[in-house]
Each structure stands twice: as C-alpha cells, then as structure tokens.
Amino acid sequence: MARVLVLGGHGKVASRITKLLAAQNHHVVSVIRTAEHITDIRALAPSHNIQLVEPVVASIEDADDDVAARMMKDIDWVVWSAGAGGKGGPERTKAVDEIGAKRFIKAALEAPSVKKLLMVSTSSARRRPASYWAEDDIAALNRSWQNIGVYCQAKLDADEYLFEESRKAAKNEWEDICLRPGTLSDEPGVGKVDLGKAKKVGNVSRDDVASVAVELLKRGNAGGLWLDLIGGDEPIEAAVDRVLSQRITAKE
C-alpha cells in the first residue's frame, strides 16, 4: 500500500480523497492549516485502523524548500488539493496556488521515493478555449477569466510547471496527473462522469472528483495527462480505462 501526502487536507475534495484512500488501506499524511482540523481529519480513517490517517499541521504558504523536501520523506504519492480559496486577495492566491504548488512539485520531483503527483486543478486553467468546445463552453471560460482571472492564471502556471518540469526530470516511475474538474457541487456522487476532453459547461460532484482521483492514482499510465472532468454518463472505472488506454488529454 502507498504512503500518500495530501496537501490542503481539510478541503472538501481532499477530505474525500483521504477517506477513499484510507478505506483501501493506504496511509495518508494529511497536511492541514490548523490544529482545529485534527479531529475532522482523524475521523476520515476507517474505524478498524485509525492509524491510516495522520494529520500534520503546517502552513503550505509559509513553507520553504527545506520544509517541502522534508514532507516528502518516505512518501510514494502526492496529492495537491490546496488553494487560497479566494481568501487574502490576489497576492495570497498567487502565493498558494502558484508559488506554493511549484515548491511542492519541485520537492516531489526531487524526492527519491515519490512516484506520482496528482494535481487537482480546474478546467478554466488554459490559455485558450479547447478546439472541441461549443460557444457556451467558450463563454463560460471567458467569464471565469473575467471574474477570477488571478486564480485561473495561478492554476495554469502551476499546471504547466508540473508538465514541463516532469518532462525535464525524466524521473523513473514518475507520473504527473492533472485532474481538471468543472464547477464543483456537494451533491452525492453518482459514479458517472465525462472525463478527458470534456465540455466546460457542467457540474461535477466532489464525491465523483475524489473517486476519479483515487482511480487514476491506483491505475498507472496517467503520466502527462490533463483530464477535464464534469458529470456525465460513463461509469468512472470505464472512463478511466478509456482515457488511459487511448492516452486522451485535454492539453492542447
């Protein structure tokens, strides 16, 4: 079983990822901002083995290169699901969503034990509309950049950094996975999605985002893929099979 570092551990998607991983007997080290969240994180562990979830209180925003490197010790997989969440203005968004992400990507690439990094990004993190989008998708992308452009730019810069540095590193057994959901909802997961080259317009439940993320981590052969995600009609396992076997990517 893998030892997984989850950054942004108290977030809604990250919490769901942690619970799924621990239920499958993976050991999760969940990085959270405050000790007030420790009880919540520990509650994500299965009752028969509460040691599978290990909360760690640390500031991703304030971490330097040495701190990031130390967090990678004995870690197999990394999940980046951290973000400023619109709190603290543009400077903090850049500090967490771009600079912080890049710091931990670099640390993961340099850590001998780390084999995978999954970035939870957004389908709005792109330089131009996808070639396969309709007019309503293009309009939705434009609205995102008009309303939360600093966030979109920060996520795009982090995504591109992960892709480019991964290619440069040529690290053995390394997978860089960029999962890019559309509008998130707290509706119960339905287990069916549109994954890969998906439309921009559409919601996806956080439950289903977490399920897709864990499935991608488990499978292998996802390195270098950018996978847009909204709710759809294809069962999650089949969707993951399709994008991995055909090497489908939303990166253009």
- Please report the pLDDT score of residue 214 as a whole number: 98
pLDDT of 242 over the 80 cut: yes
- Please report the pLDDT score of residue 136 as a whole number: 97
Class of domain 3-246: alpha beta
Domain extents in the chain = 3-246
Q: How far is the first Cα of the chain from the last one, in angstroms, to the nearest whole number?
A: 34
Write out pLDDT tens, residues 46-92. Answer: 999 999 999 999 999 999 999 999 999 999 999 999 987 767 788 99
DSSP 164-187: HHHHHH--TT-EEEEEEE-EEE-S
**Mean pLDDT of the residues in the chain:** 96
pLDDT of 210 over the 90 cut: yes
pLDDT of 30 over the 90 cut: yes
218, amino acid identity = K
What φ, ψ does residue 152 adopt, rounded to 5°? -60, -45
- The model carries a pTM of 0.96
Write out pLDDT tens, residues 106-116. Answer: 999 999 999 99
pLDDT of 123 over the 80 cut: yes
Q: What is the mean pLDDT of residues 10-36?
A: 97
